[in-house]
């Protein structure tokens, strides 16, 4: 500051020394701030890998050179892969897999085999982002009948090193695979092309990007945008549905992917016509125009997947008029299920949902439905119309019950269906009771639990009775469960899933406005099936010690939430894989 | 003035000639029908579509599989393709059929794989469509109270004028030709036949509702691409 003051002319009026002082402080302050900023930048660049690239390119830069009619775009952020949280997760799985006898082929092995390069060849030049563009995607391509046109775009931060990498790849492909490449120029950049009908390959570097492609047209579309630079128009980054999709998803993701509405429509239509060769899917809502997105990111609890669906015409959504007030939802069903539940799936059906579906059924679908009603002598329309509120399904460990008897697996199952009218369900259950009553080996008993009027079914072999199924209605639920012995769980008199601390804790990791719909106690689930199958489920076996190793051991639970019931222009599903590290 | 009149006269003559060509001769309905049957028997092939609407019409004795529609190509004398949609309880299924001579192949509706199907268990479109023995022959033989309703057009062919006939179909012919999907009751029938060529473009058969049913069953059979022959070959069966 004194330096600045000394620079000021002496002939200034007396009042000026005061201004000079303030001005000096201002200039000096800016200079100090500038020094600090520069220092921070230098430190960032030095100590954070790809720091310089991050400064220059920021995030999502590749989308600005992707054509806006791309069917799919996926991007990997290598900077995000540097996170400590991810490293801890990887180490946790590595420790768990340490005893696996066979080491799977690593991606580095594959890279070296196919391209003749290792990480040492890549690290010197690779930038922060890698993008994958699928220019077009139709059902024939997915079926493998046609080649999917793709372009891989890799940011480069050192052109010379990148060129050396390309030369290495070229030499390797020519020497090891005996392939012939022709070279061509694009705006003075040299590319190499193997013109093969079944295995085409094109690669090269242009400006700050290295490209790999299997389709010339797709590559040229991208190169044109790179050439246009900031003047480029009709890029994915400018596309509204892309922006809306990305904005809906988590930041700082390891991987971000986008599926255009055109691709979704085409694929949905093809799937609807050819889902399993000859069974068209029910067409209600199949013409809704939507784009999709996905992110994979690391969160405190583990790995998070988010799926976004963006509706292009939200005002035309068929369910726009449904009353979807979720404010009162409390996962009531969790308070009716055993604490040992390993899988819990819960949905919510608003009033009039069934009417909406039936209104959107095609003539053929309605006829199929009517035939179903005739076949079982059940008015399914009334039955479905009476469903309102929570619908839950739970799988839990149970040594004695319907599934354990029939399938010889220690599993129990409960289905809880929220209803607004029990008459159709009572009629259905009465039919079941009559059917059971006509079987000499079946016994039925009435079970009253507070508001629940239940019937328990037992197998009677003449010596003993083996209760295996309980069903009925009450308390706004229709109930079907194999948990006969501890039926009091249904009225919360035993420890329930809602009481489980693990169950309660998982939801704290999710956004507040999302509604839980799936919980899986993975380790218990695996153990349950492992015990049932009496064998190894995952991992390798140390045959000498007859021990089993579970390489998924760090993965403790999977849970999911959805904003499905928020009637806006988008829906977000969040899945978290809880990892113990 | 003579020179001026010639072009005008020529124009009038041209218009008159054109109009004469467009005129549709009114014929007795029996003659229209007979000439149509004759024409259909002369064809080398055609494309067709059979569609059922209204009350269900079942392919099986247990009345669980309802026929919805079939579309394909017929190449005389005995090659047929069909894409068939059926409706079962809670499910809509589509299968492909190829029939050559006495052998019929169908795709499995779950896997899509072709398999040989014993004819007695299969829907056989060639029986229904054969001009000598199928629905067209039945119409010629069993159609009564035939009335000529004038010139009409169908929605899918705007501006293309057709003879429209109306009659009643009695007897077992339709029942036998359709595996019992069409009843033996007297059936209301409408036909649209092209003038000049006498190609049968559309047949609509209305099967009245059975006791206890609310609605009739309506059958619409369309024909086009007359004399067009496609190559119909046996499919590749996975087990081969």
For every residue of chain B, DSSP letters joined together read -HHHHHHHHHHHHHHHHHHHHH------HHHHHHHHHHHHHH-SEEEEEEEEEES--BSSTTS--EEEEEEEEEETTTEEEEEEEEEETTEEEEEEEEEETTEEEEE-TTT--EEEE-GGGS--HHHHH-TTTSHHHHHHHHEEEEEEEEEE--TTSTT--EEEEEEEE-SSHHHHHTTTSS-SS-EEEEEEE-TTT--EEEEEEEEPPPTT-SS-EEEEEEEESTT------PPPPTT-
What pLDDT score was predicted for residue B239?
61
pLDDT score of A194: 95
Nearest-by-Cβ selection for B64 from A280, A369, A371: A371
Is 60 exceeded by the pLDDT of residue A276?
Answer: no
Q: Which residues of A18-35 are buried (b: 16+ CB within 10 A; e: fewer)?
A: eebeeebeeeeeeeeeee
Rounded mean pLDDT of A152-158? 95
* Position A306 confidence tier, pLDDT thresholds 50, 70, 90: very high
- pLDDT at A3 > cutoff 60: no
Q: Output the CA–CA distances (angstroms, integers) from residue A146 to A135, A234, A267, A548, B100, in the order listed.
A: 13, 26, 14, 43, 31
How far is residue A114's CA from residue A125's CA, in Å, rounded to a whole number? 19
Q: Which tens digits make up the pLDDT trace of B88-116?
A: 998 898 889 999 988 899 998 778 889 99
Q: Measured between CA atoms, how close is A246 to chain B, in angstroms? A: 37
- Cis, peptide link before residue B77, omega less than 30° from 0: yes
- What tokens appear for B118 in the block? 């014993």
Looking at residue A313, what is its pLDDT? 84
- Which range has the worst mean pLDDT, A249-253, A549-553, B194-198? A549-553
Asked if residues A295 and A250 have their Cβ atoms less than 8 Å apart, the reply is yes
Residue A318 has pLDDT above 80, yes or no: no
Average pLDDT over all residues of chain A: 80
- Residue A359 CA to residue A107 CA, distance in Å, equals 51
Which of A280, A371, A372, A381 should we substitute to test contact with B (largest number of B Cβ atoms within 10 Å)? A371
CA–CA separation, A515 vs A574, rounded Å? 10
Locate the domains of chain A by residue range: 2-47, 79-86+104-232, 323-499
pLDDT tens per residue, range A89-131:
988 887 877 655 555 556 778 888 888 998 888 999 999 999 9
- For chain A, count helices (H), then strands (E): 18, 22
Helix A159-176 to helix A107-115 angle (10° resolution) is 70
For the segment A253-270, the average pLDDT, to the nearest whole number, is 86
Nearest by CB: B91 against A274, A279, A374: A279
More confident site: A19 or A370: A370
Q: Could you read off the pLDDT of A443-488 as tens digits, one per residue? A: 888 888 888 889 998 888 777 777 788 999 987 899 999 887 778 7
pLDDT of residue B1: 43
Q: Is A377 on the interface with B (CB under 8 A)?
A: no
Structure tokens at B28: 């007795």
Tokens 């035993």 sit at which residue? Answer: A494
Output the pLDDT for position A458: 86
Specify the long-range contacts of residues A78-82, CB closer than 8 Å, at least 24 apart: A78/A49, A78/A50, A78/A126, A78/A127, A78/A128, A78/A129, A78/A130, A79/A48, A79/A49, A79/A50, A79/A53, A79/A54, A79/A128, A80/A252, A80/A253, A80/A254, A80/A297, A80/A298, A81/A254, A82/A48, A82/A49, A82/A50
CA distance B17 to A581: 93
The pLDDT assigned to A323 comes to: 67
A365 touches chain B (CB under 8 A): yes
**How many beta-carbon contacts under 8 Å exist across A and B?**
60
Instruction: Answer yes or no: is pLDDT of A329 > 90.
Output: no
Residue A60 pLDDT class (50, 70, 90 cuts): low
Contact B92 A375 (CB under 8 A): no
Q: What is the mean pLDDT of residues A564-579?
A: 80
Residue ranges in A414-494 assigned as alpha helix (H): 423-437
Q: Do B112 and A277 touch (CB under 8 A)?
A: yes
Count other C-beta atoms under 10 Å from residue A135's C-beta: 22
Q: Residue B122 has what pLDDT?
A: 67
Give A374's contacts in chain B (Cβ within 8 Å): 89
A547 confidence band (pLDDT: 50, 70, 90):
very low
Mean pLDDT of A58-77: 86
Average pLDDT over residues B60-70: 89
Average model confidence (pLDDT) across chain B: 86
| Contact across the interface for A364 and B95, Cβ inside 8 Å | no
Mean pLDDT of A263-270: 76
> Does residue A367 belong to the interface with chain B, where contact is any CB pair within 8 Å?
yes
Please, what's the largest Cα pairwise distance for chain B? 84
Mean pLDDT, to the nearest integer, of A520-528?
87
Domains of chain B as residue ranges with CATH: 27-224 (2.50.20.20)
Determine whether the interchain pair A364/B64 forms a contact, defined as Cβ–Cβ distance below 8 Å. Answer: no
Candidate from A278, A282, A368 with C-beta closest to B95: A278
pLDDT at A239 over 90: yes
User: From CA A317, how far away is CA A567, in angstroms rounded?
Assistant: 9
Percent of chain B surpassing pLDDT 90: 50
Structure confidence at residue B127 (pLDDT): 81
Q: How far is A546 from chain B (nearest CA, A)?
A: 41
pLDDT of A71 > 50? The answer is yes
Each residue's pLDDT tens digit, A488-499: 788 877 789 999
ipTM of predicted complex? 0.82
* pLDDT at A183 > cutoff 70: yes
pLDDT (0 to 100) of residue A101: 54
Token look-up 């059922």 returns: B52
What does the alpha-carbon distance between residue A539 and residue A553 come to, in Å, rounded to a whole number? 10
Sign of CA dihedral A114, A116, A119, A125: negative
CA of A11: how far to CAs of A7, A8, A17, A25, in Å?
A: 12, 9, 11, 20
Contact B81, B105 (CB under 8 A): no
């Amino acid at each position: 500051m004194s330096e600045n003051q000394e620079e000021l002319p002496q002939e200034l009026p007396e009042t000026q020394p005061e201004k000079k002082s303030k001005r000096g402080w201002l200039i000096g302050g800016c200079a100090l701030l500038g020094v600090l900023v520069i220092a921070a930048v230098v430190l960032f660049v030095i100590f954070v890998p790809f720091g310089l690239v991050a400064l220059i390119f920021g995030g999502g830069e590749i989308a600005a050179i992707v054509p806006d009619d791309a069917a799919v775009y996926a991007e990997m952020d290598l900077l995000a892969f540097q996170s400590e949280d991810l490293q801890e997760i990887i180490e946790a799985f590595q420790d768990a897999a340490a005893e696996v006898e066979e080491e799977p082929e690593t991606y580095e092995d594959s890279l070296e085999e196919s391209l003749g390069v290792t990480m040492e060849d890549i690290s010197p030049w690779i930038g922060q982002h890698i993008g994958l563009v699928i220019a077009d995607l139709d059902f024939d391509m997915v079926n493998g009948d046609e080649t999917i046109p793709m372009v891989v775009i890799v940011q480069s931060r050192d052109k010379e090193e990148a060129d050396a990498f390309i030369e290495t790849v070229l030499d390797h492909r020519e020497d090891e695979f005996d392939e012939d490449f022709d070279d061509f120029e694009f705006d003075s950049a040299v590319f190499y092309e193997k013109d093969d009908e079944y295995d085409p390959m094109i690669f090269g570097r242009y400006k700050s990007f290295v490209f790999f492609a299997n389709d010339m047209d797709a590559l040229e579309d991208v190169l044109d945008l790179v050439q246009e630079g900031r003047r480029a128009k009709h890029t994915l980054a400018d596309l509204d549905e892309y922006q809306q999709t990305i904005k809906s998803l988590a930041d700082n993701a390891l991987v971000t992917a986008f599926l255009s509405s055109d691709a979704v429509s085409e694929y949905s239509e093809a799937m609807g016509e050819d889902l399993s060769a000859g069974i068209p899917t029910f067409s209600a809502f199949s013409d809704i125009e939507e784009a999709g997105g996905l992110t994979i990111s690391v969160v405190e609890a583990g790995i998070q997947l988010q799926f976004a669906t963006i509706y292009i015409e939200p005002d035309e959504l068929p369910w726009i008029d449904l009353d979807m007030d979720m404010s009162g939802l409390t996962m009531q069903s969790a308070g009716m299920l055993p604490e040992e539940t390993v899988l819990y799936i819960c949905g919510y059906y608003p009033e009039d949902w069934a009417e909406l579906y039936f209104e959107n059924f095609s003539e053929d679908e309605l006829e199929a439905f009517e035939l179903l009603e005739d076949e079982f002598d059940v008015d399914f329309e009334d039955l479905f119309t009476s469903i309102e509120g929570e619908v839950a399904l739970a799988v839990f460990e149970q040594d004695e019950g319907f599934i354990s008897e029939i399938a010889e697996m220690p599993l129990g199952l409960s289905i809880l269906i929220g209803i607004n009218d029990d008459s159709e369900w009572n009629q259905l259950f009465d039919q079941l009771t009559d059917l059971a009553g006509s079987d000499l080996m079946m016994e039925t008993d009435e079970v009253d639990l507070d508001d629940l009027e239940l019937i328990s079914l037992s197998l009677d072999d003449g010596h003993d009775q083996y209760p295996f199924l309980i069903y009925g209605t009450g308390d706004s639920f229709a109930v079907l469960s194999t948990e006969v012995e501890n039926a009091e769980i249904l009225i919360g008199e035993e420890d329930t899933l809602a009481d489980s601390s693990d169950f309660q804790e998982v939801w704290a990791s999710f956004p507040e406005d999302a509604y839980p719909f799936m919980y899986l106690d993975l380790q218990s689930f695996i153990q349950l099936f492992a015990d049932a199958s009496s064998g190894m489920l995952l991992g390798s076996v140390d045959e000498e010690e007859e021990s089993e190793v579970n390489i998924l051991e760090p993965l403790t639970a999977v849970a999911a939430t959805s904003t499905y019931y928020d009637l806006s222009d988008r829906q977000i599903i969040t899945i978290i894989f809880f990892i113990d590290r | 003035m003579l020179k001026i009149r010639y072009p005008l006269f020529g124009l009038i003559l041209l218009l008159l000639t054109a109009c004469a060509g467009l005129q549709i001769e009114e014929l007795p309905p029996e003659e229209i029908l007979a000439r149509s049957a004759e024409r259909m028997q002369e064809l080398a092939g055609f494309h067709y579509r059979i569609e059922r609407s209204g009350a269900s019409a079942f392919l099986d004795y247990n009345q669980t599989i309802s026929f919805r529609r079939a579309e394909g190509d017929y190449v005389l004398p005995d090659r047929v393709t069909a894409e068939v949609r059926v409706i079962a309880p809670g499910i809509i299924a589509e299968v492909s059929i190829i029939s050559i001579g006495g052998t019929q192949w169908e795709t499995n509706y779950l896997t899509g794989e072709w398999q040989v199907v014993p004819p007695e268990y299969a829907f056989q479109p060639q029986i229904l469509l054969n001009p000598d023995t199928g629905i067209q022959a039945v119409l010629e033989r069993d159609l009564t109270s035939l009335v000529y309703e004038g010139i009409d057009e169908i929605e899918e062919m705007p501006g293309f004028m057709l003879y429209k006939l109306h009659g009643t179909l009695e007897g077992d012919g339709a029942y036998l030709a359709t595996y019992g999907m069409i009843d033996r009751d007297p059936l209301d029938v409408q036909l649209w036949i092209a003038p000049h060529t006498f190609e049968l473009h559309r047949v609509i058969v209305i099967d009245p509702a059975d006791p206890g049913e609310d609605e009739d069953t309506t059958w619409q059979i369309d024909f086009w691409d007359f004399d067009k022959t496609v190559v119909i070959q046996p499919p590749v069966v996975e087990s081969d």
